[in-house]
Amino acid sequence: MKRLSTVLLSSVLAFGLVFAVGCDSTGGSADGESGTVELRMDGSSTTMNAVSSKTTAKTITEALVTIDEVSIVPSEDSTEGDSTEVGVQALTEENFEVDLKQLQAGLDTAMAEFEIPSGEYGQIRLITANEVSMTFDDGSQQDVMIASGQQTGLKVNNFDPFTIESPEDRVEVTLNWDVEESLKGNTTGRFVITPVIDATVDVASGSDSTSSSGSNG
């Protein structure tokens, strides 16, 4: 595992990602047509909910999430809730870490750009390590379980599925972590890591472009 700094995160991921595609799992067409996906991550927060707990994200100085895998999943495979090996997978040679507090502070990271076979895609899935490593403002540290991160992946869906038809098609997917909602403490001061992630999907096909958004769940 390697720790990525704010400055190096974008460049290391962009050059370190290895693109692996299984035609049977992605539903790509036999004629080899493909488009381009750019994957980004930031900490934009759209929630208006107040956090009424003794411990909140404001008391955290660092929250390291280890991401093992990111998949862009075809619409036909998005119901395979128990599978972590579906879709077009962007794999790194080593695990990498993202500090959610840096995302919350405004870090916008270009994670990868890669070709994707033609087809319709309706889900983004992140496979994470079992725990989030958190450091608090009093210097204490705690490893906290993250729901579904390793078993079935963190699924981001409910955006309008996008379709790749030709090499001119380009899709920008931005994963927006709502850090305040994801890092909630309950009334006893114990943390509950329930990731709240939405996606903004911008599709450009020739002179046409569309945009949609959705959340994990």
pLDDT on residue 83? 58
Tokens encoding 135:
């450091």
| Per-residue pLDDT tens digits for 114-155 | 889 999 999 998 888 778 898 989 999 988 888 766 667 788
Provide the residue count of the chain. Answer: 217
Question: Does the global pTM surpass 0.75?
Answer: no
Place of tokens 């208006």: 48
Residue 38 CB burial class (10 angstroms; 0-12, 13-18, ≥19)? middle
- Do the Cβ atoms of 1 and 95 come closer than 8 Å? yes
DSSP, collapsed to helix, strand or coil, labels residue 214 as strand
pLDDT digits (tens, 9 = 90+) for 3-37: 433 333 333 333 333 333 344 444 444 456 899 99
Measure the CA–CA gap between 148 and 195, rounded to whole angstroms: 9
Contact residues for 50 (Cβ-Cβ < 8 A; gap 6+) = none
